[in-house]
Structure 1
């Protein structure tokens, strides 16, 4: 961990909603005039799209039907830890991007003056921008460990995004259908294949985060595989758990977030429609503290 070069990790499962927290941070960075270096978790997979499919097929032929992007076999856990450690020590690190779409491919080909970068592949490694104020990671493994590599020991602020599991599955099924064209059946197969790695490598992170945001639906999600739509923010509450509640100004938060309440001494509950607002209210003072520590 580093006061001079803070590392923030936003972590959550596929479809959990980590992008919402990332956007909240981006709003804070813009208001506070902070320059953040962004690292996408997908960029630290160890296999591109074609190579992953080959590896998954070979694993299945060998009797392993649980090979997934959630486990260390498909990720550079060593590079995630190295990225966090090096940035904390020096304020610099290497970065690349995973290309999801044709639009991203066109953008990256222009950036690198190339024509061969395609969806499902990685860009070349390059240095991050100089003189950044902090590093923001968003992805699957921001606080993961496999017994050899341990991301959390280099993270100054860890944020978990954890909808209750049925809601998480509903969000993933609908996102994969709309954004990636996958059938519900294909997404369910993926969920089942990932389950052992989900339990082993994703879930334990949420006991290591500093703050967790967990969305809980107030409508029936008992069978997520037949849900016709995603519960709206107004059809949910967000449970916010603080690992270290000492020094947290809960009266201020209760005043600033309408209709919020405390359910435990370390837990704030806010209306789902106020989730983004609540994130900014909660995270802005923490960002102030991190930046003040940089100046010492």
Structure 2
């Protein structure tokens, strides 16, 4: 951790909702005039799209199983966090998505990576969004370098429903292929992804209020209006629960460290909870 060069990490699995959280952070950065270095977790995958498919065909990892630590440069991610906390810079690269038109016009091929490069100079903080921002193993301790670690983790049935819907409706995969991916990833999901949520400072967990007993036959993703969000705070003694209860209609406290809110209030809750912490990191950076 670093007072001068703070790091924020949003971690969660594919389809969990980390992108939505990132959008909220981007709005906060814009509102507060914060110049954040932005890092996406998929830029630390080891293999290109083609290379990953070849390995899957040989029985390695499973199709699109980027949950596995062995399929990612988690050592380079930790090195980036270490370097940034110490010096405000570090090495990163970008993964080229199908809709990264600016990179494609530069000659980059979708499913590949750019070259490694230095972070832009003079950033106020580093922001990471991806699969492994809270990893703690015998080999790496990425979580220890993060000043604000956020987990976004729907209950697993909802996570599967969201993934099936996204990959079939927007990415062109068959339902059978997506279900096979879920099955192939399960061991690494349990061993690599889930333990991170014990390392986070705050977890946002969406829970549907409709039947999702069999997520593989649900035709529609439960909406925010059909959900509640369970928010867990590690350092709950520092949380102004009366203020949050007053500001968020329909919220209640289920345990001394847990706030429950209506699903459609999650953007408001994230702003109320996260913005003061971002401003505090900036204040420590300037005056610390």
Category of TM-score, reference length = shorter chain = over 0.9
Instruction: Provide the residue aligned with 1:263 in structure 2.
Output: 254
Task: Establish whether residue 187 from structure 1 lines up as the match of residue 182 from structure 2.
Answer: no
Offset of 1:66 from its aligned partner? Answer: 8.7
Offset of 1:186 from its aligned partner? Answer: 0.5
Q: Is the 8 A contact 2:40 2:94 kept in 1?
A: yes
The DSSP-based 3-state class of the residue aligned with 1:59 is coil
Where structure 2 has 5 or more consecutive residues not aligned to the other structure, the ranges are: none
Counterparts of 1:279 and 1:91, CA distance in 2: 26
TM-score by length of 2: 0.96
Instruction: Provide the residue aligned with 2:205 in structure 1.
Output: 214
Instruction: Provide the residue aligned with 2:68 in structure 1.
Output: 71
For residues 154-173 of structure 1, the aligned pairs below 5 Å read 154-173=145-164
Instruction: Provide the residue aligned with 2:30 in structure 1.
Output: 30
Q: 1:190 and 1:284, CA in 2 relative to 1: closer, same or farther beyond 3 A?
A: same
4+ residue runs over 6 A deviation: none
Counterparts of 1:8 and 1:273, CA distance in 2: 24
The DSSP-based 3-state class of the residue aligned with 2:170 is helix
Instruction: Provide the residue aligned with 2:80 in structure 1.
Output: 83
Offset of 1:238 from its aligned partner? Answer: 0.3
Counterparts of 2:244 and 2:30, CA distance in 1: 21
Offset of 1:145 from its aligned partner? Answer: 2.9
C-alpha RMSD over aligned residues: 1.4
Instruction: Provide the residue aligned with 1:92 in structure 2.
Output: 89
Stretch deviating more after TM superposition (200-209 or 145-154): 145-154
Instruction: Provide the residue aligned with 2:188 in structure 1.
Output: 197
Counterparts of 1:293 and 1:48, CA distance in 2: 39
Counterparts of 2:144 and 2:186, CA distance in 1: 26
Query: For 1:27-63, what per-residue CA distance to the aligned partner results, in whole angstroms no more than 9, with x for missing partners?
Result: 1111111111010000000001001111122235xxx
Q: Is the 8 A contact 1:146 1:201 kept in 2?
A: no
The DSSP-based 3-state class of the residue aligned with 2:169 is helix
Task: Establish whether residue 19 from structure 1 lines up as the match of residue 19 from structure 2.
Answer: yes
TM-score by length of 1: 0.94
* Equivalences, count: 287
Counterparts of 1:269 and 1:22, CA distance in 2: 21
Q: Is the 8 A contact 2:164 2:175 kept in 1?
A: yes
Instruction: Provide the residue aligned with 1:107 in structure 2.
Output: 102
Instruction: Provide the residue aligned with 1:245 in structure 2.
Output: 236
Task: Establish whether residue 120 from structure 1 lines up as the match of residue 120 from structure 2.
Answer: no
Instruction: Provide the residue aligned with 1:55 in structure 2.
Output: 55
Task: Establish whether residue 275 from structure 1 lines up as the match of residue 270 from structure 2.
Answer: no
Instruction: Provide the residue aligned with 1:42 in structure 2.
Output: 42
Offset of 1:65 from its aligned partner? Answer: 5.8
Q: Is the 8 A contact 2:91 2:117 kept in 1?
A: yes
For residues 282-293 of structure 1, the aligned pairs below 5 Å read 282-293=273-284
Counterparts of 2:239 and 2:274, CA distance in 1: 11
